Amino acid sequence: MTLGAPARPVLKWAGGKTQLLPKILARLPERIDTYFEPFVGGAAVFFALAARGSFRRAVLADRNPDLVAVYRALQQDVEGVIRALGRMSHSESEYYRVRALSPRGLVQRAARIIYLNKTGYNGLYRVNRSGQFNVPFGKYKNPNFCDAENLRAAAAALQGVEIAEADFEAVCARARPGDAVYLDPPYVPLSKTSYFTAYDRHPFGQLEHERLARVFAELEGRGVDAVLSNSNTPETRALYRGFRAEKVKVARNINSRASARGPIDELLVVAEPAPRRVKRPRSRAS
């Protein structure tokens, strides 16, 4: 797959990977049969791989129905999304009007999420137990919530891509040697008060992280190239003990607390399919 103008992420997303792209891409194969991204988020890695023509097919998935709606709408009717965004304006009253809507149509749902993402407080995505978006107004001076050029570039990249609302385990079960998987789950919290542990109606807790670690081991056992991002905590290092885990420094600016923004260490965990393993102890983050 080769494209014209490369797309950038259309959504700001907690833990977005734009600044880590060189390090992530360096740990993925240059040629991929099917690329799987089970926690699609802002899709920065997908768009980068699409721009360089790295894969023959791609599967993007998430459990968050709003995210899935955005990518499906761009894929199917980007001009409709652009028109819907063009009918919106930037003001506090308009923000709360749009936030209160519950559109059923795919295009209107996608336009609402893009608008709220670009104009809400600090680009947060947060819903209550009823699934209602509850992020306050962001008070930006002139947010570009309708970047038509980039929306069209994203739509071009998404053509022919499978987009699914699905659990990560079902998605990863499809991967085979020659494929590649990038996993960017909700992170193991840095503390008991860490903000992003339940960004949708399906909290991602300890049991899910343990299940994800088992799935990651299965990917390596099947000879599938895989890279996983997560927080650098004792719990994370214990979950991925025995895998190649590398510390990377990254700035984090999407957080509800100013004190929690700034450069931090994260982990990149890399699966090493058997034919490429070297006979030495794998490096461990500390």
The pLDDT score that the predictor gives to residue 218 is 98
Helices (DSSP H) in the chain: which residue ranges?
Answer: 21-26, 44-51, 65-86, 92-100, 106-119, 148-158, 168-172, 206-221, 234-239
pTM of the entire predicted model: 0.89
Matching CATH number, 69-155, of 1.10.1020.10, 2.120.10.90, 1.10.3720.10, 3.50.50.60: 1.10.1020.10
The pLDDT score that the predictor gives to residue 130 is 84
Give yes or no for a contact between 17 and 229, defined as CB atoms under 8 angstroms apart.
yes
The pLDDT score that the predictor gives to residue 92 is 98
Render pLDDT for 183-194 as a digit per residue (tens, 0 to 9). Answer: 999 999 887 655
- How far apart CA 51 and CA 3 sit, in angstroms, is 6
Domain limits, CATH 3.40.50.150, in the chain: 18-65+161-276
Write the CB contacts of 130 (distance below 8 Å, at least 6 apart in sequence). none
- How far apart CA 161 and CA 151 sit, in angstroms, is 16
> Three-state DSSP class for 33?
strand
Q: Looking at domain 18-65+161-276, which CATH architecture does it have?
A: 3-Layer(aba) Sandwich (3.40)
Encoded tokens for 105: 């149509």
Render pLDDT for 27-66 as a digit per residue (tens, 0 to 9). Answer: 999 999 999 999 999 999 999 999 999 999 999 999 999 9
Kindly give the parts of the chain with pLDDT less than 50.
Answer: 1-3, 195-198, 278-284, 286
The pLDDT score that the predictor gives to residue 151 is 99
Give yes or no for a contact between 144 and 118, defined as CB atoms under 8 angstroms apart.
yes
The pLDDT score that the predictor gives to residue 281 is 42
> Three-state DSSP class for 17?
coil
Q: Kindly report the CA angle at 242 between 236 and 246, in degrees rounded to 5?
A: 60
Residues in the chain: 286
At residue 96, φ and ψ (nearest 5 deg) are: -70, -25
DSSP per-residue codes, 219-269: HHHTT-EEEEEEE-SHHHHHHTTTSEEEEEEEEE---SSGGG-EEEEEEEE
- How far apart CA 108 and CA 1 sit, in angstroms, is 29
Distance of CA 48 to the CA centre of its chain: 13
The pLDDT score that the predictor gives to residue 192 is 62
Domain limits, CATH 1.10.1020.10, in the chain: 69-155
Q: For residue 24, give the nearest of 199, 187, 267 by alpha carbon.
A: 267
